[in-house]
Amino acid sequence: MDKATRLHYLEAMGIDVWIPRTSMPLPEAAAESVDAEGPAIEAEPSAPATETDDWNLLQAEVSACRKCGLCETRKQTVFGSGNKQADWLLIGEAPGQSEDQQGQPFVGSAGQLLTEMLRAIGLTREEVFIANILKCRPPGNRDPKADEIAACHDYLQRQRALIQPRIILAIGRIAAQTLLNTDAPLSRLRGKVHNLEGTPVVVIYHPAYLLRSLIDKRKAWMDLQLAIKTYKEFKG
């Protein structure tokens, strides 16, 4: 995504001034106000050796997984990426075609927009962990089936247990409904803070949807502001 396009999306979300996040943390007073820059969140140190072992085991299990039929059609599994001790865990639905080809979550145009959305609240992809409900691509990007979600559930649970995030962002309807175990529409799930076993969950629009719907980009920025506010409250 070129700079002009990026600025176009941020402008559509109601962000008038955009300043790239620097490596220097903001002063405390500045970090208290939710604005286009967002709070400074320092990167965590690398994981202890024992946790690294668990991650390696989990990643190897996912790579070899044949627990559901998606193993027949995937090019490769998409385990997730980012900081394994992140405060922020972002959970999407499932890999798409680009993700299936590259083995990374949220690549392509939607992934670039997600990166810009994070940047707008002062985060980089290296500071968060991004995963999906499903680790393998459903053919034709169809919705995940219940048996596939059930088969893959344990992997995300174990990722959550290892990361112990302070906040979860559920990206899009499928991820939100699955995580929160509800059939409620996205419109009822957005704009409030949910609780998943003690971790606050904020629901945001899927960037692929935002690429198609300019009108909802301002609401997307409101979701991100709620996420920042919630993070600071729960961080204590």
Q: Which is nearer to ligand SF4, 113 or 134 (CB)?
A: 134
Q: Which span (4-12, 117-125, 134-142, 218-226) binds ligand SF4, by CB under 6 A?
A: 134-142
**Inter-residue contact 110 to 9 (CB < 8 Å):** no
> CB of residue 134 vs ligand SF4: minimum separation in angstroms?
4
Is residue 193 at the binding interface for ligand SF4, with CB under 6 A as the rule?
A: no
Which residue type, as a one-letter code, is found at position 179? L
- In the DSSP assignment, the letter for residue 191 is T
Q: Distance (Å, rounded) from C-alpha 70 to C-alpha 149?
A: 11
134 versus 168: smaller Cβ distance to ligand SF4: 134
Tokens of 71: 């193993």
As a whole number of angstroms, the distance between CA 166 and CA 157 comes to 15
Q: 3-state class of 16 per DSSP?
A: coil
Closest CA to 40 of 48, 51, 31: 31
Site string for ligand SF4, 10-49 (x = CB under 6 A): ----------------------------------------
Which among 8-16, 62-70, 122-130, 206-214 is the span making contact with ligand SF4, rule CB under 6 A? 62-70
Task: Tell me which residues touch ligand SF4 (CB under 6 A).
Answer: 62, 65-68, 70-71, 77, 134-136, 148, 151-152
